[in-house]
């Protein structure tokens, strides 16, 4: 089966040598968008703990704060949980997660809002 001479097609219609992109950036597309599932508050100046799901294993994930109040925190692409190094204490703001692969950066995850201080810290997954 061919669509042009010298370019055979597989039975499913794809050309040989072309593979479906699983969304992991392997074929030049950004990794799929992660989804934050939980945010657990930490007491005092310790950072909150995040957990998320992702469709693929990108090179890295990054926690990014809106308004650049803290530097981004890199997380290995095989992980699905992290304790934040920045402990937003006495602050109010929002952060989100992106997946980074050789194909680029994913769309932002769902946001997490944080506020409070000490034992009264709150983080809410959007």
Locus of tokens 């703990």: 49
User: What is the greatest pairwise CA distance in the chain?
Assistant: 70
Task: Give the tens place of pLDDT for each residue, 51-110.
Answer: 999 978 899 999 999 877 889 999 999 999 999 887 677 888 899 999 999 899 999 999
Residue 23 confidence class, pLDDT cut points 50, 70, 90: very low
- The structural domains of the chain, ordered by start, are 23-112 (2.60.40.10)
Helix (H) or strand (E) holding 60: strand 60-65
- Residues 36, 110 contacting (CB under 8 angstroms): yes
Locus of tokens 């190094």: 85
How crowded is residue 76: how many other Cβ atoms within 10 Å of its Cβ? 11
Structure tokens at 66: 């809106």
């Amino acid at each position: 089966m061919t669509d042009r001479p010298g370019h055979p097609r597989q039975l499913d219609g794809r050309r040989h040598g072309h593979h479906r992109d699983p969304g992991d950036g392997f074929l030049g597309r950004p990794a799929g968008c992660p989804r934050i599932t939980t945010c657990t508050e930490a007491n005092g100046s310790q950072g909150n703990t995040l957990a998320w799901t992702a469709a693929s294993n990108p090179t890295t994930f990054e926690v990014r704060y809106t308004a650049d109040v803290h530097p981004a925190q890199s997380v290995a692409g095989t992980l699905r949980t992290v304790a934040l190094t920045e402990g937003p204490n006495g602050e109010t703001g929002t952060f989100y997660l992106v997946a980074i692969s050789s194909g680029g950066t994913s769309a932002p995850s769902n946001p997490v809002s944080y506020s409070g201080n000490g034992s009264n810290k709150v983080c809410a997954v959007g």
